[in-house]
Chains A and B, each alone.
Chain A
Amino acid sequence: MTINSNIPEGSIEKKWSNHKFNMKLVNPANRRKYKIIVVGTGLAGSSVAATLGELGYNVHAFCYHESPRRAHSIAAQGGINAPKNYSNDGDSVYRLFYDTIKGGDYRAREANVFRLAEVSGSIIDQCVAQGVPFARDYAGYLDNRSFGGAQVARTFYARGQTGQQLLLGAYAALNRQIDADTVKFYDRREMLDVVIVDGKARGIVARNLINGKIESYAADAVVLATGGYGNVFFLSTNAKASNATAVWRAHKKGALFGNPCFTQIHPTCIPVSGEHQSKLTLMSESLRNDGRVWVPKKKGDTRSAKDIPENERDYYLERLYPSFGNLVPRDVASRRAKEMCDNGYGVGTSKMAVYLDFADAIKRLGSDAVFQKYGNLLDMYKQITGEDPYKVPMRIYPAVHYTMGGLWVDYNLMSTIPGLFVLGEANFSDHGANRLGASALMQGLADGYFIAPYTISNYLASNKFAAVKEDHKEFTEAENGVTATINKLLSIDGTKTVDEFHREFGKAMWDYVGMARNKAGLQKALKILPEIRAKFWKEVKITGNAHDINTELEKAQRVADFMELGELMAIDALHREESCGGHFREEYQTEEGEAKRNDKKFAYVAAWEYTGKPGKPKLNKEDLDFEEVHPSQRSYK
């Protein structure tokens, strides 16, 4: 397959404005004739559905919760970046662009990243207008804080619940359109297939999660905003239902999958406490603004933190990276924590944790000020661990958090299936091999409010659409396929539950395709993962039936897809013989243990094509040209 990123001509500063002018428009009176399906209503989905509704399109939005407010965007804590330069510390659109390209370890597309930085300021204004209660100073101005991978304070926040407030803003905008009848909202529906007619995405097949009915919906364009696939590891910071089914089934229908192995491991999560653990809880990176990360200098030290004197503590991030200190990017902080624990310096009963200590901040600012900034996070920690972080240092360990990989999209956020647009975490586009903090909210809303509405209009205006209804044979075939899979799953009646399989598969993923990877481990993974998948299809046990609320059946379909995607991640990780950002191959590191890229061989996006059988993908490459930022060894020293 030939892939074209469709990057517009012109200087980087002019590309988006030129493109906006060159794109075709749909006359306001004609917009309601076009039907657009939006799948997923988190930040990206809600914002695009609301905006398309405002423009006058006939929008149909699908969500597997009963409300868009349950989407996992709600859990983002720390903030959203925008180069407003309110802090007067030298920020600019170009600097945010530069930081994001560098933070992504030179594996993102320059033109997309520049556009992201360019529109990010408008997002803040938009959210303010919606009534999002961002933090303000006493004079009433918007407040900023700093985040990893940047030396300016450009992060806007709403206490430790920024994602919640932004999602509620987008949700309100969507509600307004539902109220105005421009958007029809379908709750508790899970998309199980995308339907292609004459080479274009023309609809979806979804399961009604209340009564089990398989339903078809036709449209002129389909937008997937269905989030990331971190749950392939079973334990992650994602919500329990977050899944890859929509993107994976689109992949199997022809959408290429970009950089599947680029997974972000977040450095500050609450460590695993036992076998029963169902998910991991993130502690916002913003805590690294005032918290100091340390381990004992002595290996296997069993003293409690308060008994370890100052001179016997190793503040290793401050020692190794004097200029960025505790605020190095996530991939670097995660890897160093793992290394400390692997080398015997870990703390806590499991020894798989490092300290994040607020004692100095409390001394300097007082506990009231620390509460003001981080109150809800510290309370959350106390609730989960039973320890008081105002008194003893928090214990943290890295956990799977975000997936930079996703469906490949061009500059217009369109996948390789014409008419199938992919937004937010579900696409691969802007974060390269590592996402900087406070950039996910930015990307989701940039895609939804300010980019996709233009590019979708252009697509609709540039194409002719034959009338397609839900009784078209492609819909019937897709429905039959979906029903067959469900019936097959229910008929197995084996001995092990879906969760048990998922946990086993996730552990293998974490062990061999996790934070540090190597050739032998990945080859082993490629042997083990298909074996677990084969066992799943023979031995899984699902009770209940298909015509009712059946949470086990819902999980089983998602896990079945994870088991195919996981294998693709391992294939991608094995093929990429370099380290970059979150993809760390132990064979490729600098003498100081940093990721060592191979720009000659791997400065490309790996866009994998499904060939009809899992485990046999075909590689397509999109070469990355760096005209603005010259790739260099990242240094945060």
Chain B
Amino acid sequence: MKLTLKVWRQNNKNDEGRFVDYLAKDVSPDMSFLEMLDVVNIDLVKKGETPIVFDHDCREGICGSCGMMINGRAHGPGRGIATCQLHMRSFSDGDEITIEPWRAKAFPVLKDLMVDRTSLERIMRAGGYTSAKTGGIPDGNTILIPKPVADEAFDAAACIGCGACVAACPNSSAMLFVGAKVSQLALLPQGQAERETRVTRMVAQMDEEKFGSCSNTYACEAECPKGISVTHIARLNREFVSAQF
């Protein structure tokens, strides 16, 4: 396949940035999207240019490093996948593909397609944990958790922190990301002791980081590589309200 790529290039935070066209030749349908970019980058380096910078690591959809807007969609076409799991068989010969970084005030661009997502880190540090110290813990089976509860907590805990929910949201809201963690720990007996302080602090940090509000478009759920449900946003709202009284 031969493809035309319109790629966002930006030198650093302060640079304005622009689209640059590249031709990707000899693309095999078995390649992953990132492998296609690898091939383009090898050509760029050989020509003495700087390669397109993007975050990536595990390349199996679990580390949450990669993420780009492909033709306006977070992680590109297809459901339930991260960018690294997108394969070129989803495209046709001659296609033009537009590739941009996540766009959100809370995710400043570091370079090209790489953004700074440490805002998500700061939210997690504001209570996204149970205060269990190492050692002195009773046997795991002293806490019984019925399978449906464990399963639902797992569904929320499956979040990979990629930021696609924020990128897909017209308001750049991080409610699905925050909801997933709040919901996981609110469902489990282990999370009860700090239930109220946790949700209050995490929401406050989320607001401080300048993420937008949720207006129920459900774009986040549609683009989440792990298919995390917006019911966790509903639980976040419920937890937040009940923590205020």
In the complex, the 6 A-B pairs of residues with the closest C-beta atoms, listed nearest first: A140-B144, A172-B129, A129-B132, A128-B140, A133-B154, A136-B150
- In the bound complex, how far is the Cα of B187 from the Cα of A131, in angstroms? 10
Residue contacts A-B, CB under 8 angstroms, 10 given: A65-B57, A134-B140, A139-B146, A158-B154, A175-B128, A239-B63, A277-B35, A278-B34, A548-B11, A551-B53
* Further contacts, 11 of them, CB under 8 A, given A140-B146, A172-B130: A70-B58, A131-B188, A131-B190, A136-B146, A161-B62, A168-B157, A175-B124, A176-B129, A383-B87, A450-B134, A500-B42
Q: A residues engaging B (CB < 8 A)?
A: 47, 50-51, 54, 65-67, 69-72, 74-75, 84, 86, 122, 124-142, 158-159, 161, 164-165, 168, 171-173, 175-176, 178-179, 187, 210, 239-241, 273-274, 276-279, 281-282, 379-380, 383-384, 386, 449-450, 453, 495, 497, 499-500, 541-544, 548-552
B230 to chain A: closest CB distance in Å?
Answer: 20
Q: Does B212 contact A (CB under 8 A)?
A: no
B57 and A240: CB pair below 8 A? Answer: yes
Given contacts A276-B31, A383-B81, contact A66 B190 (CB under 8 A): no
For B98, the chain A residues whose CB sits under 8 A away are none
Q: Which residue, of B30, B140, B144, B158, has the highest number of chain A Cβ atoms within 10 A?
A: B140
Query: Are the CB atoms of A274 and B30 closer together than 8 Å?
Result: yes
Shortest Cβ gap from A79 to chain B (Å): 14
Closest CB-CB distance, A445 to chain B, in whole Å?
A: 10
A241 and B57 within 8 A (CB): yes
Pair A138/B147 contact, Cβ less than 8 Å: yes
B141-167: which residues lie under 8 A (CB-CB) from chain A?
A: 141, 143-147, 150-151, 153-154, 157-158, 160-161
Q: If the complex has contacts A69-B64, A499-B38, are A279 and B59 also in contact, measured as CB distance less than 8 A?
A: yes
A-contacting residues, B168-201, CB 8 Å: 184-185, 188, 190-191
Task: List the B side residues contacting A550 at CB < 8 Å.
Answer: 50
Closest to A209 in B: B110
A139 and B124 alpha carbons, distance in the complex (Å): 31
CB-nearest residue of chain A to B156:
A133
Comparing B1-9, B111-119, B216-224, B235-243, the segment that makes contact with chain A is B111-119
Q: Is B231 an interface residue (CB 8 A)?
A: no
Whether the Cβ atoms of A552 and B57 lie closer than 8 Å is no
Closest to A281 in B: B60
**B71 at interface, CB cutoff 8 A:** no
Residue B97 at the chain A interface, CB threshold 8 Å: no
Closest to B143 in A: A128
B residues near A282, Cβ cutoff 8 Å = 60
Distance between Cα atoms of A240 and B185 in the complex (Å): 32
With A67-B117, A276-B38 as known contacts, state yes or no: A72 contacts B87, CB within 8 Å.
Answer: no
Bound-complex Cα distance A122 to B140 (A)? 9
A158 CA to B153 CA in the complex, in Å?
11
B117 CB, nearest partner CB in chain A, Å: 6
Contact present for B147 and A137 (CB under 8 Å): yes
- Nearest chain B CB to A127's CB is how many angstroms away? 8
Min CB distance, B177 to chain A, in Å? 12
Residue of A nearest to B13 (CB): A210
Q: Tell whether, in the assembled complex, residue A125 and residue B137 are in contact, meaning their CB atoms are under 8 Å apart.
A: yes
- The interface residues of chain B lying within 8 Å CB-to-CB of A75 are 58, 60, 62-63
Q: Are A543 and B50 in contact (CB under 8 A)?
A: yes
Question: Is B76 positioned at the interface, with any CB of A under 8 Å from its CB?
Answer: no
B87 touches A65 (CB 8 A): no
What is the interface of chain B mostly: helix, strand, loop, or mixed?
loop
List, in ascending order, chain B residues with CB within 8 A of A50's CB.
Answer: 134
Restricting to B40-64, which residues have a CB under 8 Å from any CB of A?
42, 44-46, 48-51, 53, 55-64
Q: Taking CB as reference atom, which chain B residue is nearest A549?
A: B111
Give the residues in chain A near B11, CB-CB below 8 Å. Answer: 548
Q: Quick check: B57 and A67 within 8 Å, CB to CB? A: no
A495:B46 contact, CB within 8 angstroms: yes
Q: CA–CA, A379 to B150, complex, Å? A: 21
Which B residues touch A383, using CB under 8 A? Answer: 61, 81, 85, 87
| Inter-chain contacts of A158 with B (CB < 8 A) | 154, 157
Interface membership of B16, Cβ < 8 A: no
Contact for B150 among A86, A134, A541, A552, CB less than 8 A: A134
Cβ-defined partner of B114 (8 Å) among A130, A173, A386, A549: A549
Instruction: Report how far A75 CA is from B84 CA in the complex, Å.
Output: 14
B62: chain A residues at CB < 8 Å are 74-75, 161, 164
Residues of B within 8 A of A139 (CB): 144, 146
Listed residue (A86, A137, A168, A171) with the most chain B CB atoms within 10 angstroms of its CB: A168
Partner of B184, one of A47, A131, A449, A552: A131
Known pairs A241-B57, A278-B35; A552 contacts B87 (CB<8 A): no
Question: Are B63 and A70 touching (Cβ within 8 A)?
Answer: yes
**Closest Cβ neighbor of A168 among chain B residues:** B157
Q: Shortest distance in angstroms between B155's beta carbon and chain A's nearest beta carbon?
A: 9
Interface pair B57/A129, CB less than 8 Å apart: no
Kindly list chain B residues whose C-beta atoms are within 8 Å of the C-beta of A380: 60-61, 85
Assuming the A-B contacts A74-B58, A138-B146, A548-B12, are A133 and B188 also in contact, with contact meaning beta carbons closer than 8 angstroms in the complex?
Answer: yes
B228 interface residue per 8 A CB criterion: no
Task: Tell me if B105 counts as interface (CB < 8 A to partner A).
Answer: no
The reply to whether A274 and B190 form a contact with Cβ atoms under 8 Å apart is no
